[in-house]
Amino acid sequence: MAKVPVQFTLNGAEKAEFIDSGTTLLHALRDKIGDTSPKGGCHQGTCGACSVIIDGELRLSCLTLAETCNGATIATTTGLAEGGVLHPLQCAFLDAFATQCGFCTPGMIMAAKVLLDQTPNPSREDVVEALSGNICRCTGYEPIIQAVLSAARSNSQNAA
């Protein structure tokens, strides 16, 4: 079967690949481009570990066909740190001990980033709602909720 060209911006860099038609964005990112930060948990949209940001919106990369992303701007956890300096959300996850095995963490951070981009001062209910599509086995969620609230607080302090 003929390969399909696909071109998009990933974490600020232009990417162009030839893929098989029907390839998921998750597969293209991990196995073609080599960005393994989105994780394949369930491959059917129920766990949230593969979450990425496409044109500012949270998407499940396991349910997104790569060929529908032509011209899109995609962000993954790999692109969050700038010049070795961690993103405030990454720092907050570390400080709150919000990660154990780490498998859900990239999806959690992407979900939290979209929330904070759209709602800089979220309530606890906002955070719970934003994370409700992401499953975590280890933490019991509370440290993750606290990390997101803490990142929001430090963002608003920096902005003030």
Partner 1 sequence: MAIRRGRGVAAINYPTGMNLGGDPTQALVHSTPTGNFMVTLSSVDLGQGMKQIMAQICAETIGVPTDRVVVDTADTDTGPHCMGTFASRGTHRAGNAVIQAAREARQVMLEVAAEELEVNASDLETDGQGNILVKGAPQKSISIFDVALSAHFKRGRSISGRGMFLIPRSYPEKETGAMKPSTCYAHACTVAEVEVDDETGEVTVLTVKNVFEIGRALNPKMVEQQLVGGSWMGISHALYETTEPYYPNRDHGGTDFNQYLMPGPGDLAETEIIVLERPSADGPYGAKGPGEMCANPQIPAVANAVFDAVGVRIDTLPITPERILRALKAQAPN
Q: What is the C-alpha to C-alpha distance for residues 56 and 9, in angstroms, rounded to an integer?
A: 12
SS3 36: coil
Residues that bind partner 1 (CB under 8 A): 42, 44, 46-47, 97, 99-102, 127-129, 131-135, 137-145
φ/ψ of 6, rounded to 5, equals -140, 140
Task: Give residue for tokens 């939290």.
Answer: 112
CB atoms near residue 130 (< 10 Å): 22
**Structure token pair of residue 40:** 């394949």
Task: Give residue for tokens 């399909």.
Answer: 4
Name the residue nearer to partner 1 (CB basis): 68 or 132: 132
Strands in 13-20's sheet, in edge-to-edge order, are 13-20, 3-10, 73-75, 51-54, 57-60
